[in-house]
A and B are shown apart, each in its own frame.
Chain A
């Protein structure tokens, strides 16, 4: 469990990084918190010839709310920073992110692992990927030709595969609008494991009533997915239980040693309903402060 030989590069700035990536091509990997990549290298499942360490790019470690109300998270923001962010930085509108962090691995992992690293790694059950897809985040990437913004729904292409080009660096994720009535929940055999199934529900609440919302699932497809059938139930004023049943019916989860498809569908039902209830509860808890 020692990595194959590689050449180590320490990045000084974003522009230089993308230039270097362009030069190195497919043989390079970007190192952020290293919580997935280093383990994969130790198993020699990943064996990049070049490792570009962006750990020193402090400009990518930020958490700010823009004038437009959007939340900007720099790629190097750790899960732990989000988990412990004060209300002044992470208002009630984005408290869902703070609450979701507890599901990511264990404390030592959260203190090293980064938002950008998690998104770029594109694990189908990763919390950040599911949150980004469900909450309609945009992913900001820089390349030698400049910057582009990719909607999260178009960013994830398959297991561990994203729209990031080899010469591009993920620099920021932007959650465009507050989600005061949202919740993430998941199920795994042990706390801190990758979820067998995970769910995010983001409710539209007006005048104390649910008018609609977004439902996203992790662990049921090669990428995190929205579930339009379940969202339609919410838009039509259906119950949380009906929403959950619709999500379970629509899901086509894998069937393997980790769990049968039938069981995973039951987990979808359980988790979507639980997430709906928690999202709705978030309304009550945060009350006026959320609106």
Chain B
């Protein structure tokens, strides 16, 4: 009986209350990754592998008048060079099921044909015996352009008579939605005690996975399959697009994703270069490898986050928000990405902006405009780092104007009763919005930062304290994506759990770890469910021939959706194990429960069949199985979310000091109070928080991709693209709260993006708090040292300008 109390539940399922779930077990990926035995795309080589690079547009906007690759083909070592016409591939066209007034579909060719729309756009592929000869070949290409005037910012894109990137998209507008428009909202603004406004710009960023994009493509004659080893967050979506572009059935394409060095959203869209390399491999019947170099990764890959906000908020005298009216324009660059489209940023911002606050009236216009810049993809947080920053600025400004404490004004507006259905039609499941803010503030107060700030101010130093409160929708199911009117609707996930004759378990997931530790966390879920030791469970992911189907990893969906499918499948396997044991004992299945690695007979202490014995029966002694039990030990499950998803939440608190002599912003303290429901592995969650916060600080203080008037990108190396290093990123204190999700199988919510969502707002608010004695307020990011220096020494600069 002890065993049963230790594990089995009334329904016979195994549950031992956190033996594995909730434990920071060491990452199973680490031994190989930390000793250099990981296997990334570039580590894979096949006999006869050729290397590809791309001839890229040197102009931001123009007609391609001529492409001469004869010189390329004459370069020693070059094996082939192809233009779009040579390959004759289909375009990549992302669709939304919205009327053309709201969304204009545009085609992204795999290689530019007659038109180029950004510097770095691929025009031709060069395939050579090594990576050096490939670049020699690229240099020998001659491409003629009839240059058009480039469109390099969102205002220019929307201007009367602006040059058009896509003839079908008037005013370069790819997405234009007006949503919600609560009745009477103008009257609310007219009657409000206080209306505050924030106009803000956020810098264009690169998600910048340490591992750049890449592919090794080859035709497998034996399987009659094109095999793509590639680093993608969405293997099955790559398969779909590859099969369509190349005219193959999906079975004839196998996508295999090995270890990945990050993705952050940039690798959850389907890239052009991978397809061109695949097409070259098909033609040449030789393996073709393309590894994106850092220069191309910085300038010609997918970018994100360049947005302009003009937002007003109405407040009553007590600081309660009455209405929110927003105009959001996102500079999406030259093309819509597949499958999310150029709607990814404006639709996210428009749908979610009210966030954690009780906003009674809301109106928003969200637009995506095309410009002559590298296109955009989702990047960790997608628009939430930006609109959270703007909304948090609105509350800070209102607090200032109403002479309220900035924490208190938030308290008065946070959602506290759940489930809460907002003005945006979204129903928020329970979270700890108020509790996380209280704990974050309490922590900074207890550490004495408020006293230190007072003392510093008295001494003429510039210390500031800033907060941000936010939620993060995770576990988007098909219902939530259908709401967005995507033409393909992601959401569900599949899992298959298989026990072999020795009792060891293999589990598949349609999600794709690119650093999230799924081999550890998914195994924790399965091992806990079946009462197994962790090392008896192996995860398979990322191989479209091994995994039936999946939507990959993005939008913090893996643990919430994929983890639920995995747990359901494990549970079903457990039921089959119980059925076999019940048959062996000739008792009803209700008389059995799962124990630690065995099925236990209820009420018969000491009577148990371990999984190996049962597995032997299922495979090797099927003569012992009753007729109604099929041989083998496999179980599958699908999981989907049929509501608005589940919301993780957090509060970030930051203390900064501004250095008066140089303008440097020094982060003295960073506190994150997060709630992602049940944390399967708290250390993994903390890793997500810290990495996300680093990327958020990067957006607030360091990184920006800029373009000159000709559309030439400024950043082609890490000298210009200022990724913060360990020197610039502070240690982060993390506190966990836990509000379990009611409808995921483990109670977990997603945890992938919160860090990056909260950081820009908290840092910007802290900087503004430090600047308070100067009267200057900053609303744009990134904040440079010069910007801070000018704010601190406004009079000096004004006088020297005279």
Give per-residue flags for B779-796: 1 if the beta carbon is below 8 A from chain A beta carbons, else 0.
000001110011001001
The residues of A that contact B724 with a CB separation of less than 8 Å are 190
Are A270 and B661 in touch, CB under 8 angstroms? yes
Least Cβ–Cβ distance between A189 and chain B, in angstroms = 5
Determine, out of A146-154, A171-179, A256-264, the stretch whose residues face the partner at the interface: A256-264
Question: Which residues of chain B are near A260, meaning CB under 8 Å?
Answer: 786
- Which residues of chain A in 241-291 are interfacial with respect to chain B, using CB atoms and an 8 Å cutoff? 257, 259-260, 262-263, 266-267, 269-270, 273-274
A192-206 Cβ-contact flags toward B at 8 Å (1 or 0): 111000000000000
- The answer to whether B722 and A190 have CB atoms under 8 Å apart is yes
Answer whether residue A187 sits at the interface, using C-beta atoms and an 8 A cutoff.
yes
Q: Identify the stretch in A1-9, A22-30, A79-87, A132-140 within 8 Å (CB) of chain B at 4 or more residues.
A: A1-9
Chain B hits for A1, CB < 8 A:
135, 293-295
A2 and B131 contact, CB distance less than 8 A: yes
Interchain CB contact (< 8 A) of B132 among A2, A39, A106, A270: A2
Smallest CB–CB gap between B341 and chain A, Å?
31
Q: CB distance A4 to B706 under 8 Å?
A: no
Verify B662–A187 contact, CB threshold 8 A: yes
Is B483 interfacial (CB 8 A cutoff)? no
Q: How many residues of A contact B (CB 8 A)?
A: 27
| Given A5-B132, A263-B790, residue A190 in contact with residue B728 (CB < 8 A) | yes
Binary interface encoding of chain B residues 100-144 relative to chain A, with 1 for a CB under 8 A from any of its CBs, else 0: 000000000000000000000000000000011011100100000
> A189 contacts which of B134, B702, B801 (Cβ < 8 Å)?
B702
Tell me whether A193 and B786 are in contact (CB under 8 A). no
How many angstroms between the C-alpha atoms of A274 and B662 in the bound complex?
A: 11
Name the CB-closest residue of B to A39: B717
Complex Cα–Cα for A260 and B725 (A): 25
Q: Which of B294, B664, B727, B796 contacts A192 (CB 8 A)?
A: B727
Q: Which of B706, B725, B728, B789 contacts A257 (CB 8 A)?
A: B706
- Residues of chain A within 8 A (CB-CB) of B786 are 259-260, 263
Judged by a CB distance under 8 angstroms, whether B719 is at the interface is yes
Specify which chain A residues have a CB less than 8 angstroms from the CB of B35 in the assembled complex. none
Given A257-B706, A262-B800, A266-B793, check contact A189 B136 (CB 8 Å): no
Complex Cα gap A266–B724 (Å)? 24
Does B797 touch A at the CB level, under 8 Å? Answer: yes
Nearest residue, chain A, Cβ from B801: A262
CB atoms of B662 and A191 under 8 A apart:
no
Q: Does A160 contact B (CB under 8 A)?
A: no
User: In whole angstroms, what is the CA distance A67 to B45 when docked?
Assistant: 58
Q: Mark B628-669, 1 if CB is under 8 A from A, else 0.
A: 000000000000000000000000000000000111100000
Let me know if B774 is at the binding interface, CB within 8 A: no
Identify the interface centre among A2, A39, A273: most chain B CB within 10 Å of its CB: A2
- Complex contact B725–A189 (CB within 8 A): no
A273–B784 Cα gap in the complex (Å)?
A: 22
The reply to whether A189 and B714 contact each other, CB–CB distance below 8 Å, is no
Pick the residue among A2, A44, A190, A267 that contacts B702 (CB under 8 A): A190
Q: How far is the CA of A273 from the CA of B786 in the complex (A)?
A: 19
Contact residues in B for A259 (Cβ distance below 8 Å): 786
Least CB distance, A257 to chain B, in whole angstroms = 7
Residues of A contacting B722 in the complex (Cβ-Cβ under 8 angstroms): 189-190, 193
Q: Are A191 and B789 in contact, CB atoms less than 8 angstroms apart?
A: no
Q: B789 touching A263 by the CB < 8 A rule? A: yes
Contacts of B789 in A (CB 8 A): 263, 266
Which among B134, B136, B663, B728 is the interface contact of A4 at CB below 8 angstroms?
A: B136
CA distance A1 to B135 in the complex (A): 8
Residue among A4, A263, A270 with the most chain B CB within 10 A?
A: A263
Residues from chain B with a CB closer than 8 A to the CB of A270 are 661-662
Find out whether the CB atom of B662 lies under 8 angstroms from the CB atom of A3. Answer: no
Interface size on B (CB < 8 Å)?
34
Q: How far, in whole Å, are A187 and B789 apart by their CA atoms in the complex?
A: 13
CB pair B294–A191 under 8 Å, yes or no, is no
Q: Chain A nearest CB: distance from B798 CB in Å?
A: 11
Question: How many Å from the CB of A286 to the closest CB on chain B?
Answer: 25
> CA of A3 to CA of B131 in the docked complex: distance in angstroms?
10
The residues of A that contact B664 with a CB separation of less than 8 Å are 187
B295 touches A5 (CB 8 A): no
Q: Are B797 and A262 in contact (CB under 8 A)?
A: yes
Alpha-carbon distance A257/B727, docked complex (angstroms): 24
Give Cα A5 to B135, complex, Å: 10
The residue from B135, B784, B790 contacting A2, defined by CB atoms under 8 A apart: B135
A189 touches B785 (CB 8 A): yes
Complex Cα gap A189–B134 (Å): 35
A43 contacts B717, CB within 8 Å?
Answer: yes
Q: A191 and B295: CB pair below 8 A?
A: no
Residues of B within 8 A of A192 (CB): 725, 727
Q: What are the interface flags for A11-50 relative to B under an 8 Å C-beta threshold, 1 for contact and 0 otherwise?
A: 0000000000000000000000000000100011000000
Q: When chains A and B are docked, how far (Å) is the Cα of A43 from the Cα of B718?
A: 13
Q: Which of B132, B294, B662 contacts A267 (CB 8 A)?
A: B662
Contact among A44, A187, A257, A263 for B714, CB-based, below 8 A: A257
- CA of A269 to CA of B790, assembled, Å: 15
CA distance A70 to B714 in the complex (A): 44
By a CB distance below 8 angstroms, the chain B residues around A43 are 295, 716-717
Instruction: Check A190 against B727 for contact (C-beta < 8 Å).
Output: yes
Complex: how many Å from CA A192 to CA B718? 11
A263-B790, A266-B789 given as contacts; is B784 within 8 A of A189 (CB)? yes
> Which residues of B from 684 to 720 have beta carbons under 8 Å from A?
702, 706, 714, 716-717, 719
Give B277-318 as 1s and 0s: 1 = Cβ < 8 Å from A's Cβ atoms.
000000000000000011100000000000000000000000
CA distance A173 to B356 in the complex (A): 63
Smallest distance from the beta carbon of A90 to chain B beta carbons, Å? 25
Measured CB to CB, the nearest residue on chain A to B790 is: A263
Most interface-central of A194, A257, A273 (chain B CB within 10 A): A257
Provide the B513-546 mask, 1 if CB < 8 A to any CB of A, else 0: 0000000000000000000000000000000000
CA distance A193 to B796 in the complex (A): 28
Query: Which B residue's beta carbon lies closest to that of A263?
Result: B786
Contacts of B793 in A (CB 8 A): 266
B residues 130-177 touching A (CB-CB < 8 Å): 131-132, 134-136, 139
Instruction: Give the chain B neighbours of A5 by CB distance below 8 A.
Output: 132, 136
> Are the CB atoms of B719 and A191 closer together than 8 Å?
no
Please, how many angstroms separate the alpha-carbon atoms of A266 and B139 in the complex?
Answer: 43
Known contacts A262-B797, A270-B661; is-contact A193 B719 (Cβ 8 Å) = yes
Chain A neighbourhood of B728, CB < 8 A: 190-191
Residue of A nearest to B292 (CB): A1
Task: For B796, list chain A residues within 8 Å (CB).
Answer: 266
A259 and B725 CA atoms in complex are apart in Å by 21
Whether the pair A274, B725 counts as a contact (CB closer than 8 A) is no
B727 and A191: CB pair below 8 A? yes
Report which of A3, A4, A44, A190 forms a contact with B725, defined as CB distance below 8 A. A190
Chain A residues, Cβ within 8 Å of B706: 257
User: In the complex, A257 Cα to B786 Cα: how many Å?
Assistant: 11
Residue contact A191 to B725, C-beta cutoff 8 Å: yes
Which residues on the A side are within 8 Å of B727 (C-beta)?
190-192
Q: A10 to B426: give the CA distance in the assembly, Å.
A: 69
Bound-state Cα–Cα, A266 to B538, Å: 59
- Closest B residue by C-beta to A260: B786
How far in angstroms is the closest Cβ of chain A from B461? 15
Return the 10 tightest CB-CB contacts between A and B, nearest first. A270-B661, A191-B727, A1-B293, A263-B786, A2-B132, A2-B135, A187-B662, A2-B131, A189-B722, A259-B786
**In the complex, given contacts A191-B728, A257-B706, A262-B800, what are 10 additional A-B residue pairs having Cβ atoms less than 8 angstroms apart?**
A1-B295, A2-B135, A2-B293, A4-B136, A190-B702, A190-B724, A193-B719, A260-B786, A266-B661, A270-B662
What are 8 sample pairs from A and B whose C-beta atoms fall under 8 A apart? A1-B295, A2-B293, A5-B136, A44-B139, A189-B722, A190-B727, A263-B790, A266-B793
| B interface with A by C-beta (< 8 Å) | 131-132, 134-136, 139, 293-295, 661-664, 702, 706, 714, 716-717, 719, 722, 724-725, 727-728, 784-786, 789-790, 793, 796-797, 800-801
Contact surface of A with B, Cβ cutoff 8 Å: 1-5, 39, 43-44, 106, 187, 189-194, 257, 259-260, 262-263, 266-267, 269-270, 273-274
